[in-house]
Structure 1
Amino acid sequence: MDMQQAQIGLIGLGTMGSALALNIAEKGFPIAVYNRTTQVTRDFHQEAGDLAGNVVPTESLEEFVNAIATPRAIILMVPAGTPVDQQIEALEPLLSPEDLVIDAGNADFHDTNRRANTGYKMQFLGMGVSGGEEGARHGPSIMGGGRQADWDRVSDVLNAIAAKAEDGTPCATRMGEEGAGHFVKAVHNGIEYADMQMIAEIYGVMRDGMGLSAAQIGDTFATWNEGPLQSYLVEISGKVAKATDPHGGKPMLDVILDKAGQKGTGRWTAIEAQHLAAPIPVIEAAVMARNVSARLEERRVMQDRFGAAPQGFDIDSTVLEKAMIAGKILCYAQGFTMISAASEKFGWSLPLPEIARVWRAGCIIRSSMLNDMAEALTEDAERNLILAPFFANLIEENIPALRQAVAEGIAKGHPMPALASGLNWFDMMRTARGTANMIQGQRDFFGMHGFERLDGIADAHGPWGA
């Protein structure tokens, strides 16, 4: 192959980079690849099989850049943070003003904002990619951020490699300027944390409360996946629960240490929500739960001192299914509210209906509910999702089950932080007169902060004096 025929380039042949490169090659786009470790590049090309003819392996940055037809488009799949800055710094002297660098890693959107405004010689695009290795290889969900002209330059490639929804629409969209794509990806990851945590809490109730075996729990999840909860995470939860350890024959779940890892994206979402004054308690609870899971020895000491928490109790599995439906809707509603807050603050005009559509396939949180969410947001993007008639009816139908599951679970000592947080948020949101008047009174008492009265008088003070 003529080295100049590579239509696009990719740097970083780790798990995600390799999968994405093969996806691009398979869709008929010749791709130049480079990895800092030369042997990785050679191995990748050798193992590409029938796709090797569409892969141009290179062993230096100069050779890599020269292998791509101009104007060049280069995807970076390197670890987030400083490595991205270092890679851009190394590339910049070799590129022209019309060339385009695309950061497709799990970047902090603040870093993407900074890079978009750095004034590089070449152009820059931020791109969130969701779906894990399988998604990257066969069709991810893609969330872009940057100039429309830069997105348009590579949209043919991105639309080709993206997952396709049931209606055939590619799950790839430009979200807005600067770090908009990486921001939406961060919220996606926060929802992912929350969805996984709620499933884990329901699993705990079935295991410790109802005494079900892992296989029985797997069957329950598999049944739920055929109804309103149909989603990737419920589907794989059923498969995980039914899997058997090949080394000892026990259920796989029974030999996995209960210490959840995290790469920080859920934490970023929780932190940014505070800056935006956007309440996302389900996601915050999920991040907290992962942090608690890491405190293994401390938890063992606590159990020795206070006794094991969970007690058995009877609850119908249909109640748990309904509780999950309510919890899922509340979680997504919080996520979209946070996206709206960011859209206003950063001036991005984030397209909420399109975001729901992009998440319908390829990504980790793909779910049949997202079709209805996209429709509801198309009707009125400014309305809270739970006020859309379709979801308001679902909430009315399923909130009693969530309340029952949380109340009985907590009464019996079952940790349910995410589900309980969702319920508390719902109860606060549907209370027209809450209790913050007491907080305002307290603030005025000790700090003369003032408050607004019901009769409309602003900056009022109470009779308590200095």
Structure 2
Amino acid sequence: MQAEIGLIGLGTMGSNLALNIAEKGHDIAVFNRTTAKTGAFFEAAGALRSKIIPCTTLEEFVGAIRPPRPIILMINAGEPVDDQIEALKPLLSHDDILIDGGNANFHDTIRRNLLLDGTGLNFIGMGVSGGEVGARHGPSIMVGGAQASYKRVEQVLLDISAKYEGQACCAWLGENGAGHFVKTIHNGIEYADMQMIAEIYGIMRDGLGMQAKEMAPVFAGWNEGRLNSYLIEITAAVLDTEDAETGKPIVDIILDRAGQKGTGRWSAIEAQQLGIPATGIEAAVAARSLSARKDEREAAEKAYGALGETLKRDAGPLEDLELALLAGKIAAYAQGFAVMSGASGDYKWDLPLPEIARIWRAGCIIRSQFLSTIAEAFEGAEKESNLLLVPAFVEMMSEAQAGLRRVVARAATAGLPVPALSSALSYFDMYRQGRGTANLIQGQRDYFGAHSFERIDRPGAFHGPWAMNAG
């Protein structure tokens, strides 16, 4: 038997993806640097072992795959991927395809495409979202690379991807780094969404004095309505779970120090490079970085005192919290899609924004009920430059923004940190302000650096009268 596809890296994501491929009827060869891990994986595969070829050497692995060979790399991003490519190159043949399924920096994916150009080998950068469960039962898959290479593995990827009303949540999105770029922005939106949910949790805990068991049904209720999404669903589950050892809510014994693997930071950096505001993502990345400074935060609490003011606990705040979260989520998606739209032009990808929204409707971490609305918005005859201008979102944001405003104001008065929600409000207010305050900034720039400015009454570049007096 020769395998249809190969996979290297049997960690959590790789092993589950391999089982998914085998379960969907595709013969797969697998290899892991630690041979014992390969054996253990094969033994645990049960009935799926007949579809799996375990290999102990790279030579055996490559020989076990039917040419032209598609090989998925599910290993740590960065140098390990480059090392694995170099180890495989002497063993591969013309038209074989290397598929990086990790959380790679899309600039690395572009570089690897260029390095393999002219070698006869092909490279695909494949974003995979959905975590362990998604990898095993159906992730959202975002593919970048030569379209002809994608066509050769398309059926396998369609088969293993999540399905939304029968439609596969997998698509080719453009050349070279397009797939990994879209996955990066997906993770940036994920950062913002998670941070805003955490801020709402913080208001409930520290402002309203609610216990985790009281919060769980609130989030569960929100998940039945307009906030329906995977992250709201699992928030309710986390808040409702008890620690087996102590009997306390498990969230109360988890250290308040969040980790990050780089994709959120990359999305914020790329937004800055493109000159497109993504303030919710930036605030979320900063919040995670500040969370890591646990000792400093504890010292600052001693220096300044703990939070003292609480909020009134009545029906109003909970309704406002729901509206605030809705408004913040809309702002985060608007920013993320604006960044993708900008990158689409700069990198000449022509990213299919409606298709991206569709493949995020199932399998991925940020799946939510209004992604279909986003897809429809980008398919319309009159495509708006920002989701905040789409009629459906104008209606939602018009209703929700007052709640966001009240929540941010109350939180600020009570000393409750809401950086992502605050950034969403500021972004919305600046975006809707026809005449802003940058005219003063332009005056300042011209005064100290003669950078010139535009006038409102006629075209051209002008200088102020201060130039002669600046010295």
Task: Give 1:334 shift.
Answer: 0.4
**Deviation by residue 1:381-423 (Cα, 9 ceiling, x = unmatched):** 4431111111110011110000011111111111000011011
Closer, same or farther in 2 for the Cα pair 1:263/1:347, shift >3 Å? same
Q: Could you tell me how far apart the structure 2 residues matched to 1:254 and 1:11 are?
A: 38
Instruction: State whether structure 2 residue 109 is matched by structure 1 residue 112.
Output: yes
- 1:417 is matched with 419
Aligned-residue offset at 1:316: 2.4
2:12 is equivalent to residue 15 of structure 1: yes
1:168 alignment partner, one of 166, 169, 178 = 166
User: Which structure 2 residues correspond to residues 187-336 of structure 1 after superposition, within 5 A?
Assistant: 187-309=185-307, 311-314=309-312, 315-336=316-337
In structure 2, the partner of 1:427 is 429
1:252-304 deviation per Cα after TM superposition (whole angstroms, max 9, x unaligned): 11111100011111001111111000100001000000001011111111111
Counterpart secondary structure, 2:60:
helix
Of residues 161, 177, 180, the one that matches 1:179 is 177
Deviation at 1:458, TM superposition (A): 2.3
Q: What is the CA deviation profile of residues 347-385 of structure 1, one whole-angstrom value per residue up to 9, with x for unaligned ones? A: 000000000001000000011111111111111444311
**What secondary structure does 1:316 align onto?**
helix
Give 1:54-203 correspondences, 5 Å limit. 54-118=51-115, 119=117, 120-165=119-164, 167-203=165-201
AA at the equivalent of 2:105: D
Mapped partners of 1:425, 1:7: distance in 2:
49
Alpha-carbon displacement from aligned partner over 1:109-130 (angstroms, at most 9, x marks no partner): 0000111111243111110000
For 1:327 and 1:17, locate their aligned partners in 2 and report how far apart those are by CA, in whole Å: 34
- With over 3 angstroms needed to count, the CA separation of the structure-2 counterparts of 1:310 and 1:46, relative to structure 1, is farther
- The amino acid of 1:282's aligned partner reads G
**Residues of 1 paired with 2:307 and 2:94: CA distance?**
62
Conserved? CA contact 1:23–1:137, under 8 Å: yes
Residue 47 of structure 1 corresponds to 44
Fraction of identical pairs, as percent: 58
Partner of 2:451: 449
Return the alpha-carbon distance in structure 2 between the equivalents of residues 274 and 327 of structure 1: 20
Computed over aligned residues only, the root mean square deviation of the Cα atoms, in angstroms, reads 0.9
Partner of 2:360: 359
Q: Distance in 2 between matches of 1:412 and 1:446?
A: 40
Q: Structure 1 residues 372-381 or 171-180, which shifts more?
A: 372-381
Q: Is the 8 A contact 2:384 2:390 kept in 1?
A: no
TM-score by length of 2: 0.97
Equivalent positions of 1:336-355 (< 5 A) are 336-355=337-356
Aligned length: 462
| C-alpha distance in structure 2 between counterparts of 1:326 and 1:382, whole Å | 19
Structure 2 residue ranges without an equivalent (≥5): none
Q: State the one-letter code of the partner of 2:309.
A: Q
CA contact (8 A) 1:208 1:310 kept: no
For residues 417 and 247 of structure 2, the distance between their equivalents in structure 1, rounded to whole angstroms, comes to 29
Can you list the C-alpha shifts for 1:207-231, whole angstroms capped at 9, x where unaligned?
1111111001111000000000011
Q: Give SS of 1:202's match.
A: helix
What TM-score results when the alignment is normalised by the length of structure 1? 0.98
State the 1:319 CA deviation. Answer: 1.1
**SS in structure 2 at match of 1:125:** strand
SS of 2:124's equivalent in the other structure is strand
Within the alignment, does 1:29 sit opposite 2:31 as a pair? no
